[in-house]
Amino acid sequence: MKLTIDRNALMRALSHVQAVVERRNTIPILSNILMVAEGEKLSLTATDLDIEATDAAPAQVKKAGSVTAPAQTLFDVVRKLPEGSDVTLDLGEGRLAISSGRARFALPTLPAADFQTMAREAAPIKFEIKAAELRRLIDKTRFAISTEETRYYLNGIYLHHAKGAQGNVLRAVATDGHRLALAESEAPKGAAALKGIIVPRKAVGEIRRLLDDAPETVTVEASDSKITVHIGEAVLTSKLIDGSFPDYQRVIPKDNGRILTLDNKLFKEAVDRVATVSAERSRSLKLALAPGKLTITVTHSESGQGTEELEANYDSEAMEIGFNAKYLLDVASQIEAEDAYIALGDASSPALVTDTKDAGTQYVLMPLRV
pLDDT tens digits, 325-357 = 999 999 999 999 999 999 999 999 999 999 999
Render 278-289 in DSSP notation, one character per residue.
S-TTT-EEEEEE
Closest of 252, 125, 111, 293 to residue 199, by C-alpha: 125
Q: Checking DSSP bridges between strand 103-108 and strand 284-290, what pairing results, if any?
A: unpaired
Nearest 5°: CA angle at 226, between 176 and 195? 65
Q: How confident is the model at residue 269 (pLDDT cuts 50, 70, 90)?
A: very high
Spatial CB neighbours of 145, under 8 Å, sequence gap ≥ 6? 154, 155, 156, 157, 174, 176, 201, 204
Render 107-150 in DSSP notation, one character per residue.
EE-B-GGG---PPP---SEEEEEEHHHHHHHHHTTGGG----GG
Question: If you average pLDDT over every residue of the chain, what do you get?
Answer: 95
Q: How confident is the model at residue 66 (pLDDT cuts 50, 70, 90)?
A: very high
pLDDT tens digits, 158-181 = 999 999 877 899 999 999 999 999
Model pTM score? 0.93
Provide the pLDDT for residue 280: 72
Is 70 exceeded by the pLDDT of residue 281? no
Spatial CB neighbours of 42, under 8 Å, sequence gap ≥ 6? 3, 5, 10, 13, 35, 36, 56, 57, 59, 61, 89
Provide the pLDDT for residue 301: 76
% of the chain residues with pLDDT over 70: 99
Lowest-pLDDT choice from 12-21, 88-97, 224-233, 274-283: 274-283
Q: Checking DSSP bridges between strand 125-130 and strand 156-164, what pairing results, if any?
A: unpaired
% of the chain residues with pLDDT over 90: 89
